[in-house]
Amino acid sequence: MDLSYYMEPAFREAIKAYEKKEVPVGAVVFDASGHVVGKGHNQVEELTDATAHAEMIALTAAMATLRSKYLDDCTLAVTLEPCPMCAGAIVSAKVGRLIFGAYDPKMGACGTVMNITASRDLNHRPEVYGGVLEHKAQSLLQEFFRGLRK
């Protein structure tokens, strides 16, 4: 299984965020057949909403598409390691598999700073694959933040 297949649509979403001057993070949910059922990109600034992360938007869209509060047969691909809020949503939605690009040394909650998705105290643990196309994801984030500092 080539995990980069799942990441490319997430990068397209991240570019949408970048073009809107949002932190360039994109997320896409695929059903068991590999069809896109939800997608999103960061819209925190646009919506003036600290919860408008790419993952939250993609998960909400997927649940609406599938008319289910659980995404156990689905794969979520996101360009940056999810934060605690998004990792909690991933567990709550019972996402079957999580694939992410860059690790987040400040807010990463899927193994870097903490590991919500692997907690034995919670009722669900998705399969997690980190570092998929990591360099590409890091490069986009670095370019964005370099531009902010200018």
Query: Can you name the residues that pair with 30 across neighbouring β-strands?
Result: 36, 75
CA distance 86 to 63: 15
CB contact at 8 A, 112 and 68: no
Taking the alpha carbons at both ends of the chain, their separation in whole angstroms is 41
Distance CA 96, CA 137 (A): 22
Residue 4 near residue 133, CB atoms below 8 Å: yes
Query: Which of 13, 22, 55, 81 does the annotation list as catalytic?
Result: 55
The CA distance from 26 to 144, in Å, is: 14
For residues 121 and 41, what is the distance between their CA atoms, to the nearest angstrom?
30
Residue 98 corresponds to which amino acid? Answer: L
Active site residue 55: yes
Catalytic residue numbers, as ranges: 55
